Amino acid sequence: MAKYAVPRGTKDILPDETALWQRLESACRRVFGLYNYGEIRTPIFEATDLFARSIGVSSDIVSKEMYEFKDRKGRSLTLRPEATAPVVRAALENNLIGPDKLTKLYYIGPMFRYERPQAGRQRQFHQAGVEVFGSADPLVDAEIILLNLQLFQELGLNDLSVNLNSVGCSVCRPDYRQKLKEYFHDKVKKMCADCLNRYETNTLRILDCKEAGCQAALEGAPAAVASLCPECLAHFQAAIKTLDYQQVNFVVNKRLVRGLDYYTRTTFEIIAPSLGAQNAISGGGRYDGLVETLGGKPTPAAGFAVGMERVITLMTNDAVPAGQTARMGRQECLMTNEGDIILYLVTLGEEAKKLGFDQLVKLRKKGISAEIDYLGRSLKAQLKTADRLGVKYVYIIGEAELKQGQGILKKMATAEQKEIKFDSLEEEIKL
Ligand code: HAM
């Protein structure tokens, strides 16, 4: 017998399995690239305070699960339990985030949480995630969910369910917290010790309790969406409308509060029921206050992370044959290298943007990398971004084009322009 064993809650990934991991990683890179996200790699450990301030001192992650240690100079460091806070830190430190700028980043790597190990829950696990900074547009919320689903679709994962909620903002959340406190006031004494503790420290998290004895009380709890301020409600409705239009199957789950305190407005999780107790294969949402909390200018942001071990389990269970993992094979994909964006959709006005977003979704589904403006910028600024991205084409949709059911396609290399019907765009650029 070997003298040493792998640490509890960790796993060796052996050659038999690494092939599957490589397939997963390359699908992530391909799909994230398709949506114009660039890779960032941050250190495995960070100052402990970074996580305490962002995830929240009363969260389970910070209060119970951190791998915290002192270095030889006595500084408190922590193995990263997640990557959103490190990405914000790095983006701020390297001036990647700025006013009037959309920044899209992705990462793949190990995370560490001192949790009770069980099927689907480890102490060292891996996440692949994306973060987008600079836009509060609900289309961004829809984009990240569509991106996440496209990734899972490429991997051949079936029977997934999208859970959606809105946890509001600093204006409406206190009101919701108060409503929860009133609701649980008489009930909490009969609930578990964690609920009792959360009632005082982090009331929203009571909703996440999995104890059988607490479920009856949770059933009747008020929903966050009923307490949203008009702005948050409109934002949530707009995100839902886009997802509906894009035929995403989702349920609004009023108990989806997530385990990290930085979320505002949209939160979501994608569930694979076949996995049993630990069935969330990804989770994320909007976190409009975090950049400011960590010392930057107010910057809206959103993102999600995929639990890679759980996805690997599904890939193993679903036994997708090698070479067929990707529904959209590399050969069908127009994208050349990661980060090469083929087409930029220039839109002028809200209506044009909605239509442009639909075109964007269609192109990406076909493996054509494309990007759009989420910042409501001028024609000139959008063209400048297209230029910076080095796209082959821009497709311009303004008021006049909208009425005519066509846009102006400009080939960047020759500056040649022609009017192309919305329906014919994909065919035209494939030529
Ligand atoms: P999270 O929900 O804590 O979110 O983690 C995301 C995913 O990582 C989970 O849905 C799950 O699949 C996986 N995961 C979490 N803990 C473990 C574990 N102990 N063992 C195995 N898998 C696990 C975040 O971490 C956020 N940073 C996501 C995000 C990005 N939000 C905005 N941007």
Domains of the chain with bracketed CATH = 15-156+258-324 (3.30.930.10), 336-430 (3.40.50.800)
Query: What is the predicted pLDDT for the residue at 336?
Result: 39
Give me the mean pLDDT over the 34-45 stretch. Answer: 97
Kindly report, residue by residue over 113-139, the tens digit of the pLDDT.
999 999 999 999 999 999 999 999 999
Query: What is the predicted pLDDT for the residue at 99?
Result: 76
Give me the mean pLDDT over the 300-316 stretch. Answer: 97
Does pLDDT of 14 surpass 90? Answer: yes
The span from the CA of 61 to the CA of 369, in Å, is: 36
Cα-to-centroid distance, 68 and ligand 1 (Å): 19
Does pLDDT of 325 surpass 80? Answer: no
Does pLDDT of 400 surpass 70? Answer: yes
Cα-to-centroid distance, 7 and ligand 1 (Å): 21
Mutation choice for ligand 1 from 151, 294, 310, 312, CB with most ligand atoms inside 8 A: 310
- Give the strand order in the sheet containing 406-411: 370-372, 343-347, 393-397, 406-411, 417-421
Other C-beta atoms lying within 10 Å of the C-beta of residue 302? 28
DSSP secondary structure code for residue 185 in this structure: T
Of 1-5, 90-94, 242-246, 347-351, minimum mean pLDDT range: 1-5
Atom of ligand 1 nearest to the CA of 131: 33
Arithmetic mean of pLDDT over the chain: 93
Does pLDDT of 23 surpass 80? Answer: yes
Q: What is the DSSP string of 114-175?
A: ----BTTB-SEEEEEEEEEES---HHHHHHHHHHHHHHHHHTT--S-EEEEEE---TTTHHH
CA of 379: how far to CAs of 15, 263, 376, 397, in Å?
Answer: 51, 32, 9, 10
Does pLDDT of 312 surpass 70? Answer: yes
Does pLDDT of 332 surpass 80? Answer: no
Cα-to-centroid distance, 306 and ligand 1 (Å): 6
Mutation choice for ligand 1 from 40, 79, 82, 141, CB with most ligand atoms inside 8 A: 82
Does pLDDT of 338 surpass 70? Answer: no
Of 164-178, 201-215, 412-426, minimum mean pLDDT range: 201-215
Mutation choice for ligand 1 from 103, 127, 278, CB with most ligand atoms inside 8 A: 127
Atom of ligand 1 nearest to the CA of 258: 2
Over pLDDT 90: what percentage of the chain? 89
Atom of ligand 1 nearest to the CA of 270: 10
The strand pair at 370-372 and 343-347 is best described as parallel
- Closest by CA to 98, choosing from 147, 126, 134, 68, is 134
Query: What is the predicted pLDDT for the residue at 318?
Result: 66
Nearest 10 degrees: Cα torsion 57, 63, 69, 70: 40
The confidence band for 100, taking pLDDT boundaries of 50, 70 and 90, is confident
Cα-to-centroid distance, 282 and ligand 1 (Å): 6
Q: What is the pTM of this model?
A: 0.93
The span from the CA of 128 to the CA of 26, in Å, is: 11
CA of 43: how far to CAs of 4, 112, 309, in Å?
Answer: 27, 13, 21
Cα-to-centroid distance, 81 and ligand 1 (Å): 9
Residues with CB under 6 A from ligand 1: 82, 84, 113, 115, 121-122, 125, 127, 129, 131, 259-260, 280-285, 287, 303-305, 307, 309-310
Cα-to-centroid distance, 278 and ligand 1 (Å): 11
Tell whether the torsion through CA atoms of 87, 93, 96 and 102 is positive or negative.
positive
The span from the CA of 143 to the CA of 279, in Å, is: 23
